[in-house]
Amino acid sequence: MELYLVRHGETESNKEKRYKGWTESPLSPKGISQAEKAGFFLGGKNIDGLYCSDLQRTLNTARIIGSCCGINPVASQLLREIHFG
């Protein structure tokens, strides 16, 4: 079994070097491109499942990757990052 861990693409807050915790921040154009590149790479693998947190930045990243792999992501609050408040 192989496991691939992928962080969400760059967000607008990342560009400003700000932590957002659970606060939503959209993917930047660069973040969308990063997700597309990850999807292109993973599309050549035999991916059985795709899991992500329920935050929009991770879900949007996973949807882009999933479209390249032919699978839909499964989102869960249990996969959220640390909440900085």
Q: Which of 10, 36, 81, 83 is catalytic?
A: 81
Q: How far is 38 from 62, CA to CA, in rounded Å? A: 10
CA distances from 50 to 12, 20, 67 (A): 24, 24, 11
Active-site residue, from 2, 8, 12, 83? 8
- Known catalytic residue: 2? no
Residue 8 is among the residues annotated as catalytic for this protein: yes
For the annotated catalytic residues, the residue numbers are 8, 81
